[in-house]
């Protein structure tokens, strides 16, 4: 399993072996070793014992080059070094695209290739500065400018801590990017692949400001964030490389900047002084000159950084949460979006707009009545209440005609809910006969007819 990352097209070669070994407990009796499995086994033996599968550690004096590319099938990245002795391949990264990622346009696929390769290789690149090369010209220096694409901007946001290490994103002609382009178009079409051929992988060197070059061949797959964030982030002052644009600095959450912001915040300094005097604030503690706060969640105590408000405005917090894969996956908003409001215009005269609703059932009266039909005037608030033993459509039509329409005249608008005693052919015929507009309230929204409902 450890050598699989150094073997190009590992998934394609190993497919016949997986076909007979990936069996459940009840299907292991179906194991069959045929010519395909033997050929795959012999090919692995040849790859493991011949060139170019010789693990070579990176030469820190030589810049890196990461070449990435994307196609309709998958994405791929090649990490290499150009040395006087020749080209040394350090890493191959590739995988196929899922159904959603194949719907991305070319710009998003090419950006995804850069994002995925940097994310997967960030532990290998360490603190080195590097250049990204891509065969998609619109992505040239895309990390230094505002892009009108939320998907790509989220990927850039997740690479905030490593953006200062990027010297430039350069354009490379497709004719000069044949290696990554070929691999991206000849990936197995089955499951996602994560292959990385020749080169060392188990160490992450942390040398400062070595010029590393990344050839980015665009890939159309969306990468999962498997790499853990690095423990330290290089400051801009520690590097002689080009600094990121002001838009990227607004999302800089490294510990060095948080420490600087805390030192300039008066309230935080007062808390720190109280802690050092051992007077109060037992829920706070200081570590590496940074103020933390302990927050209890059930049986767990969380350690949170006490961040000044000037460092994280509300817009930044919202953008940071929206870019989080975990939040998008688990914190799902299951509420329906609010519809457009359709307010009822206030009436100009009494008995112009009436609201009607049934109340009950309740304890039967001496006359056997269990329901009350309530009719309210929207302007004056005047209430008509008529008792009835039942609340059928016939009772509703009778009370409306005898107590309201024949006495005070027909209203212009009659508001009710969508109960069967209101929404029926009888009441519809009466409304059409007297010229009254019958308006129904929204289901599960009694505020539409609030006066009558109350």
Instruction: Return d(Cα 340, Cα 326) in angstroms, integer.
Output: 31
Quickly list DSSP for 414-449: EEE-S-TTTSSHHHHHHHHHHT-EEEEPPTT-GGGG
Element (H, E) at 387: strand 383-388
194 near 93, Cβ under 8 Å? Answer: yes
CATH 3.30.420.10 assigned to domain 353-453? The reply is yes
Pairing between strand 166-171 and 211-215? unpaired
pLDDT above 60: residue 433: yes
Highest mean pLDDT among 175-179, 187-191, 316-320, 417-421: 417-421
Residue-wise pLDDT tens digits, 185-233: 655 544 444 444 444 334 333 333 333 333 333 333 333 343 444 433 3
Rounded to 5 degrees, what angle do the CA atoms 266, 267, 273 make?
Answer: 90
252 near 234, Cβ under 8 Å? Answer: no
Give me the residue spans of the domains in the chain: 8-49, 51-227+241-248, 256-311, 353-453
pLDDT above 80: residue 385: yes
76 near 217, Cβ under 8 Å? Answer: yes
The answer to whether 51-227+241-248 and 353-453 have equal CATH topology is yes
Question: Mean pLDDT score of the chain, rounded to an integer?
Answer: 76
User: Can you name the residues that pair with 214 across neighbouring β-strands?
Assistant: 132
Instruction: Return d(Cα 252, Cα 296) in angstroms, integer.
Output: 27
Element (H, E) at 82: strand 74-83
Instruction: Return d(Cα 395, Cα 389) in angstroms, integer.
Output: 9
Q: Which 8-state DSSP code applies to residue 135?
A: S
Other C-beta atoms within 10 Å of 372: how many?
Answer: 16
pLDDT above 60: residue 42: yes
Residue-wise pLDDT tens digits, 147-195: 888 888 889 888 888 888 887 788 887 776 666 666 666 555 444 444 4
Residue-wise pLDDT tens digits, 256-278: 878 888 888 888 888 888 777 77
> Which one is predicted more confidently, 313 or 161?
161
Give which of 94, 180, 81 is closest to 128, Cα–Cα. 81
Long-range interactions of 401-407: CB distance < 8 A, separation 24+: 401/430, 403/375, 404/354, 404/375, 405/430, 405/434
Residue-wise pLDDT tens digits, 365-382: 999 999 999 999 988 889
Residue-wise pLDDT tens digits, 273-308: 877 777 666 677 788 788 888 877 777 777 777 777
Instruction: Return d(Cα 97, Cα 183) in angstroms, integer.
Output: 13
Q: Specify the length of the chain in residues.
A: 454
Q: What are phi and psi of 364, to 5 degrees?
A: -60, 140
What pLDDT does residue 207 have? 38
Q: Residue 357: helix, strand or coil by DSSP?
A: strand
Other C-beta atoms within 10 Å of 280: how many?
Answer: 10
Q: Which CATH architecture has domain 51-227+241-248?
A: 2-Layer Sandwich (3.30)
Q: Helices (H), strands (E): how many in the chain?
A: 14, 14
Tell if the pTM clears 0.85, that is, is over it. Answer: no
What pLDDT does residue 11 have? 81
215 near 111, Cβ under 8 Å? Answer: no
Q: What are phi and psi of 297, to 5 degrees?
A: -125, 105
DSSP strand E in 272-352: where? 284-287, 290-297, 300-305
Give which of 125, 124, 123, 110 is closest to 76, Cα–Cα. 110
Worst-scoring range by mean pLDDT, 22-31, 199-208, 408-417, 427-436? 199-208
Instruction: Return d(Cα 86, Cα 271) in angstroms, integer.
Output: 59
Average pLDDT, integer, range 16-39: 82
Element (H, E) at 214: strand 211-215
Other C-beta atoms within 10 Å of 221: how many?
Answer: 27
Q: How confident is the model at residue 253 (pLDDT cuts 50, 70, 90)?
A: low
């Amino acid at each position: 399993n450890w050598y699989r990352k150094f073997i190009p097209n590992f998934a394609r070669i190993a497919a016949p072996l997986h076909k007979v070994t990936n069996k459940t407990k009840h299907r292991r009796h179906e194991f069959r070793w045929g010519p395909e499995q033997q050929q795959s086994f012999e090919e692995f033996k040849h790859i493991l014992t011949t060139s170019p599968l010789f693990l070579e550690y990176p030469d820190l004096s030589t810049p890196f080059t990461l070449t990435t590319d994307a196609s309709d099938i998958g994405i791929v990245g090649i990490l290499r070094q150009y040395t006087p002795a020749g080209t040394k391949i350090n890493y191959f990264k590739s995988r196929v695209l899922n159904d959603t990622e194949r719907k991305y346009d070319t710009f998003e696929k090419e950006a995804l290739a850069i994002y995925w390769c940097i994310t997967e290789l960030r532990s290998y690149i360490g603190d080195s500065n590097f250049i990204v090369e891509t065969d998609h010209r619109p992505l040239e220096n895309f990390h230094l400018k505002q892009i009108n694409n939320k998907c790509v901007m989220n990927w850039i946001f997740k690479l905030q801590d490593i953006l200062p290490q990027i010297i430039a994103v350069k354009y490379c002609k497709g004719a000069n990017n044949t290696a990554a382009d070929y691999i991206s178009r000849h990936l197995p079409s089955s499951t996602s692949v994560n292959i990385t051929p020749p080169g060392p992988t188990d160490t992450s060197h942390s040398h400062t400001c070595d010029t590393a070059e990344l050839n980015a061949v665009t890939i159309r797959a969306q990468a999962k964030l498997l790499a853990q964030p690095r423990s330290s982030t290089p400051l801009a002052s520690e590097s002689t490389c080009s600094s990121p644009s002001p838009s990227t600095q607004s999302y800089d959450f490294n510990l060095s900047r948080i420490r600087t912001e805390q030192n300039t915040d008066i309230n935080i300094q007062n808390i720190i002084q109280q802690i050092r005097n051992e007077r109060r604030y037992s829920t706070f503690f200081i570590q590496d000159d940074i103020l933390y706060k302990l927050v209890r969640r059930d049986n767990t105590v969380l350690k949170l950084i006490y961040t000044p408000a000037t460092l994280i405005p509300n817009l930044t917090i919202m953008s940071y949460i929206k870019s989080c894969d975990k939040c998008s996956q688990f914190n799902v908003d299951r509420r329906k979006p609010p519809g457009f409001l359709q307010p009822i215009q206030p009436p100009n005269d009494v008995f112009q707009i009436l609201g009607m609703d049934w109340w009950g059932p309740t304890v039967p009266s001496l006359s056997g009545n269990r329901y009350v039909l309530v009719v309210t005037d929207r302007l004056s608030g005047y209430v008509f209440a008529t008792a009835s033993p039942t609340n059928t459509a016939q009772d509703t039509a009778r009370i409306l005609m005898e107590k309201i329409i024949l006495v005070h005249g027909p209203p212009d608008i009659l508001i009710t809910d969508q109960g069967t005693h209101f929404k029926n052919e009888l009441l519809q015929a009466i409304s059409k006969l007297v010229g009254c507009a019958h308006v129904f309230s929204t289901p599960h929204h009694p505020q539409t007819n609030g006066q009558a409902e109350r």
